[in-house]
Amino acid sequence: MSRKVYISSQPQYMRKLLLLFAVAALVLIAALFYELGQSRAGFSRISALEDAQRLEEENRELLRANKRLSEKVAVLETAAKIDKEAYSKVEAELVDLQSRILEQQENIEFYKGIVNENDGAGLRIQDFNVSQAFGEREFDLRLVLAQAFRSTQQVSGQVEVVVEGIRAGEAVRLKLGELSGSGETSDRIPYSFKYFQDLKAELVIPADFAPERVHVIVHPSGSKSKTVEDIFVWEVKQG
């Protein structure tokens, strides 16, 4: 009679189950020991989370402060730009005012020279200047003739203008007709006045000519009148 042998699988299943429990226990124990080690080392997960939240809030506050400062800087830059523009405007107005004051002073001196009661001179050259015109070689000549205010006689005549300079290393004298920018060929400017007269002429200086002096001769009408003349250095007035 043969015997049947039955092998139960229950002990093998129990061993696997116990092994799983043992592994889980080891993992749990390891985690506990890790947390314990972190805690003993001064690390706390809860504290770390709290610190992270605090740092995020501080960062948000810094961003808000940076925005406020940026807005303030923009306002200050705008104000500085406005102040700079206002300063430039005031500075330009001041320069213009000073220029006008200087012009007024020159006019006052001019008229004081005309109405000077102690001046016994008759016909005279009161003022003379040369200023730059539009072109590089173009100039405006201004000549003022006057006589004492107490004189009641009308005077008339012609003014001869000669520009003296150097051309090709030699001294040259060019008359007004040779330098006229208006197309006129006359060498003289007519005048007629009782107290004073402002005379003007346009000059075009040749490129190969270097002016040095201007010789002005006033030729009054009438045989008894004396010729008046003067020589002025060629000096171009700026502005």
Cα four-point dihedral sign 70, 71, 73, 77: positive
Same domain, 37 and 129: no
Which pLDDT does position 72 carry in this prediction? 80
In a domain, 204, yes or no: yes
Question: pLDDT tens-digit profile of 198-237?
Answer: 999 999 999 999 999 999 999 999 777 789 999 999 999 8
Is 127 in contact with 142 (CB distance < 8 Å)? yes
**Whole-number mean pLDDT of the chain?**
78
Which pLDDT does position 51 carry in this prediction? 66
Which pLDDT does position 190 carry in this prediction? 94
Report the percentage of the chain scoring pLDDT > 70. Answer: 67
Distance from C-alpha of 35 to C-alpha of 19, rounded to nearest angstrom? 24
In a domain, 133, yes or no: yes
In a domain, 38, yes or no: yes
In a domain, 21, yes or no: yes
Which pLDDT does position 22 carry in this prediction? 67
The model's confidence at residue 169, banded by pLDDT at 50, 70 and 90, is very high
In a domain, 177, yes or no: yes
Question: pLDDT tens-digit profile of 82-95?
Answer: 777 777 777 787 77
Question: pLDDT tens-digit profile of 97-141?
Answer: 777 777 777 667 666 666 665 555 578 898 899 999 988 899 999
The number of domains in the chain is 2
In a domain, 3, yes or no: no
Which pLDDT does position 191 carry in this prediction? 94
> Domain of 180: which CATH number?
2.60.40
Q: Residue 128: is it exposed, middle or buried by C-beta count within 10 angstroms (0-12/13-18/19+)?
A: middle
Q: Per-residue pLDDT averaged across 6-34, rounded?
A: 62
Q: How many CB atoms lie within 10 A of CB 38?
A: 13
In a domain, 224, yes or no: yes
In a domain, 207, yes or no: yes
Which pLDDT does position 34 carry in this prediction? 58
Domain of residue 179, residue span: 124-237
Within the chain, residue ranges assigned H as helices are: 10-40, 45-114, 176-179
